[in-house]
A and B are shown apart, each in its own frame.
Chain A
């Protein structure tokens, strides 16, 4: 160590160089582990999905390959899983409930969601646009149990008053609530995909004399097809997987709904309400996991179809 200030300064400079060299060397040495770490992060998603599926499947397997009659499981409406007389596991009514609620909610949500996306992306600007986007984000952040509560306390009595329905919690109620829950998803993804269409498309269309509606309908929709389809399918996914709100709003009745004003019951809500009191390892517990496997298969099919459709559209576009 030198006491000369100049020497100290040069010492420092020298050290700085060597520190940065060390950093470089460290960086070189750390590169491989970092690459691996990032690889692991990437693969972890697959790992988690596989682990969850393995767990659900392990709990369901003894029932799935054991005493469960699969034909009866899918075609019977009799759901008496905890019966002392004779347990009966038929999920037809639950499947019908999930289907009815999902389809009806999409009938409400898709036009509203896509319409809102078009409005935000094409027909308004500045402050209105920003405000709308923020409000829609807030809408997406409302917890599902709050939606359920609104369904039971506000929508239910309203349905009884306006339609004279016998009961306020029914397919219509759940569909309205689910539609409100999936609209924000559809709007934000839909708006993004419309925004991604290059302005030159719009300019070209307008210069050819297209009206604003024609621009949206004939140019933007076809150009943003993949994104809009993804938006709709994300909405469908939200509707199928939603649990708490549908548990509260469908009426939770094992019955194939014949009208919008009939109560119904979904697969997810059945698991939510019964798993808590099912005795671990017994038939009822395992059959609820089989329902989990069915839900897994349904969402997988929806995603797969989405992928295939999107790929098909891409293929057509390339031709």
Chain B
């Protein structure tokens, strides 16, 4: 019987680990990314790595925006990207510079002025110019009331309009699906709006930008949320299926923050450095290459 050997091996293993090599210094850069079909993943890839470059394999791919921040908080050598609304006290947001310009912090002002390089629009897509209850709902989202909710949830509002709105939209159920990033925002909208105009019921489902757009193409939802632009072939399909034009409405901005552990001495990073860290074939693998020294962990 080999169980004796197995016990021995296990004991040796545990002993080896317990002795360990804990030096308290972390130099390896741990990349925290998102799963490969999230809108955030695609946006970051295009914006930071460039149209023709893939992510380097071996990053820790989280299924949610919140998970990225939580993992970075627990991992001293980590760097990750996620919506700035998810920031906590446990992590640090880096200032980001582009084309050797001045580094800019991820704030609401910098994002709406366009100075912060990683701000992306969040879209709602509908087929054909909206009418009736759908138009009423979208106008309300773009109003001051709707945009205040955007700021409350932690995203960046777009210029609010003062729509001419009747207080009695036609009775309807609006089906909405799409982006996971936007799910909390859309639910907050739907809740406040539903309380104010009880005859309209917005029904919100997540699933991701790709799923929302696919459902819009199939005609199973009236509204798709997306944290990325609709691809040309998706537009073609939708227009061929429905005979209507795809209408894109920008309802908010989301600044993607670059998060590091709170004990990381780094304060700013350039897009070029990020591309070398996250991109396929990238040359930056350890913190010494960015900061000049490894991270000292207490």
> Residues of B at under 8 Å CB distance from A?
1, 3, 6-7, 9-10, 13, 17-18, 20-24, 26, 28, 30, 35-38, 42, 51-52, 54-55, 57-63, 70-71, 74-78, 180, 207-211, 214, 231
Contact = CB atoms under 8 A, between A and B. Distances in A.
Nearest to A170: B60
A164 B296 CA distance: 12
A12 interface: no
A80 B36 contact: yes
A210 interface: no
Chain A interface residue count: which class?
35 or more
Nearest to A108: B10
Interface of A: 77-85, 93, 107-108, 110-111, 114, 152, 156-157, 160-164, 166-169, 172, 217, 221, 247, 251-255, 260, 263, 265, 273-274, 276-280, 284
B210 A167 contact: no
Contact of B35 (A160, A166, A168, A274): A274
Contacts of A107: 6, 9-10, 13
Contact of A278 (B23, B75, B210): B210
B75 A274 contact: no
11 contacts: A82-B37, A107-B6, A152-B70, A163-B17, A163-B20, A164-B23, A166-B77, A252-B35, A253-B61, A263-B60, A278-B210
Contacts of A79: 36, 57
A276 B61 contact: no
B59 A277 contact: no
A273 B61 contact: yes
A157 B17 contact: no
A87 to B, nearest CB: 10
A276 B208 CA distance: 8
Given A166-B75, A276-B208, A111 B6 contact: yes
B21 A163 contact: yes
A254 B54 contact: no
A274 B3 CA distance: 39
Contacts of B10: 107-108, 111
Contacts of A82: 36-37, 42, 210
B36 A81 contact: yes
Given A77-B57, A161-B22, A279 B210 contact: yes
Nearest to A106: B6
Given A172-B17, A254-B59, A277-B38, 17 more contacts: A78-B57, A80-B54, A82-B36, A93-B57, A108-B10, A111-B7, A114-B3, A157-B74, A164-B22, A167-B30, A167-B60, A265-B61, A274-B37, A277-B180, A277-B211, A279-B210, A280-B214
A83 B26 contact: no
B77 A167 contact: yes
Given A107-B13, A217-B1, A167 B78 contact: yes
Nearest to A248: B67
Contacts of A280: 214
